[in-house]
Amino acid sequence: MTYRRRMLAAMLLALPWATGAADATFATRPVTLVVPFTAGSGIDLIARTIAPKLSERLKQPVVVENKAGASGNIGADQVAKAPPDGHTLMVTVNTFTITPALYKTMPYDPVKDFAPIGEMAVGNLALVVNPSVLPVADFDAFTAYIRARPGKLNYGSPGKGTPQHLAMEILKNHLKLDIVHVPYKGAAGASTDLMGGQIQMMVLPIHTALPLAATGKVRILGVSGQKRSVLAPDVASFGELGLESLDIDMYYWLAAPAGTPAPVVAELNRHATAIIALPEVRETLLKQGMVPTPSTPEKVAGMIERDVARWKTFITENGIVAD
């Protein structure tokens, strides 16, 4: 073999497809999966469900780190300022698109400082009433009952600026209903008072509402989304009820810092899509009221940009401020 041919053969052997390196990943050290909220939240559940699966695929440890505070801003800021190499990621929810309208200053730009990887799941919200103090059987009766009693009924939320609060405010605006908001310091107190009759109605995550409805403590009048939820197929969706504009589902996604190379984002999207398609992962998420919904980075980026603008307009026009 001539020298030239020996060199050519050596070069070919060095190529990824010749050495088996085609299966290599960008990950060269442990990956941190930041959760910008406390342990036990829906975001935390998603992170801890996918972390071991992602570790298997990347062949590196994937460590979940809860970095709660300032409505998710502290954890998100950590990710925004991390090296854009795919080793620091974030799982978050669309409260991320609400907080920029609630805070006068933000440590990061929610659109420009992140590279969305893909949507993970959608969580429906349910409009519920306590039937012992608000005796209505369906949505039409609900609106008629409230219109006959303007300003005399209350709804609760986990706090000002939360998705549950904004969902109810959108409903009020859309239907021209006069209902008094009672903000709580978290969902537990609001749910307790709902069942006790101190407040008459509330918006709850569907997985929270279903067991309460099964025991008759609440009645579900509608579930967010254009189509019926797979978790509550017997309950009308807001789309069916003529509330097409009430786009209030909670959606969860995976993100990296802006500037993360496109091939790394694409690889992470492939892994995430494969992981949430696994039967055991799908079952875990569904049990918590989250429907797996894989998507492209481009789709998530569009959703974020749209909702940041949407919530800024709505919150400003309605004078909503955070607690």
CA distances from 188 to 157, 194, 208 (A): 10, 10, 11
The Cα 66–Cα 284 span in angstroms is 20
Q: What is the pLDDT of residues 37-56, one digit of tens each?
A: 888 888 999 999 999 999 99
Average pLDDT value for residue range 174-190: 92
Delimit the domains of the chain by residue range: 28-121+250-317, 125-223
Q: 279-287 and 262-276 helices cross at what angle (nearest 10)?
A: 80
Q: Using one digit for the tens of pLDDT, what is the confidence trace for 88-139?
A: 999 999 889 999 998 889 999 999 999 999 999 999 999 999 999 999 999 9
Amino acid 52: pLDDT:
97
Give the pLDDT of residue 18: 35
Tell me the pLDDT of the chain averaged across its residues: 89
d(CA 210, CA 214): 6
Contact by Cβ (8 Å): 253, 118: yes
CATH number of 28-121+250-317: 3.40.190.150
Q: What is the CATH number of domain 125-223?
A: 3.40.190.10
Q: Does residue 20 have a pLDDT over 70?
A: no
- The structure's pTM equals 0.83
pLDDT, average across residues 243-250: 78
Segment 251-308, tens digit of pLDDT: 999 999 999 999 999 999 999 999 999 999 999 999 888 999 999 999 999 999 999 9
- Region at 202 (left for phi over 0; alpha for psi -120 to 50; beta for the rest): beta
Mean pLDDT of 7-26: 46
> Using CA atoms, how far apart are residues 293 and 118, in angstroms rounded to an integer?
9
Q: Phi and psi dihedrals of 313, rounded to 5?
A: -65, -50
Q: Please, are residues 88 and 82 in contact by the beta-carbon 8 Å criterion?
A: yes
Is the per-residue pLDDT at 66 higher than 80? yes
Q: What are the residues whose beta carbons fall under 8 Å from the beta carbon of 55, sequence distance 6 or more? A: 31, 61, 62
Q: Do 125-223 and 28-121+250-317 fall under one CATH topology?
A: yes
